[in-house]
Amino acid sequence: MSSDSGLPTSSSTSDALLLLKTATFAAEKHKDQRRKNTAQTPYINHPLQVAHLIAAEGSSLYPNPPVHILQAAMLHDTVEDTDTSREELVQVFGEKVAAIVMEVTDDKNLPKAARKQAQIDKAPHKSGDAKHIKLADKLANLTDLSSPGGVPVGWTVQRIQEYFQWGKKVTDGCKEANPGLAAQLDKLYRTATFEFEGRTYKAHPDYS
């Protein structure tokens, strides 16, 4: 928000500082991590992309996304994939942000198949704040998978298509929270393709 003079208000300045603080924290936590794609892009690109999708035109939260949701989006993988604890998030960012991050954090004590099923089962019951992040997270991951160089090393055609099928089951459970992101996902499920060993495949094999 700006004042009549065009200068930023104290509220918009403090929001900007909060987001910069959050981005810096996430960047430090993920600094040694890379995505598993052939380009090995820095991992921090992903949480920043998730926050951007929530804030950008096309999201139902545009043009005024709540700052705490953007913070949680930037931090959404810190507990699951780094040494960050819930207590640390509470201390640095407060209970509200920490609670959202924990909602979208998988239980690493469960086998992988059980974790994936839990995402499907729990998606409809998450808070509205967490649903925005779930949708943007899947949109970011699925967009990467269907982009040049975005397929993780070692993945097969079947695994990519199964990820799209699973992703749709997850996002179907929370799509009402953000119809804008849901529409982008639906287009992706219907039309996305990917290249694999010189051939083009439909990403979601049975949705059109």
Distance CA 182, CA 175 (A): 5
Active-site annotation holds for 83:
no
Which residue shows structure tokens 């892009």? 41
Let me know: does 182 contact 58? Beta carbons within 8 Å.
Answer: no
Distance CA 149, CA 165 (A): 20
Amino acid letter for position 75: L
Let me know: does 26 contact 74? Beta carbons within 8 Å.
Answer: yes
Let me know: does 90 contact 68? Beta carbons within 8 Å.
Answer: no
Active-site annotation holds for 28:
no
Distance CA 75, CA 51 (A): 9
Find how far residue 207's CA is from the centre of its chain: 22
Sign of CA dihedral 59, 147, 116, 50: negative
Of residues 15, 81, 106, 162, which has the active-site annotation?
81
156, 30, 21, 141 alpha-carbon torsion, rounded to 10°:
0
What does the DSSP 8-state code read for residue 82? S
Of residues 15, 80, 88, 172, which has the active-site annotation?
80
Residues belonging to the active site? 80-81
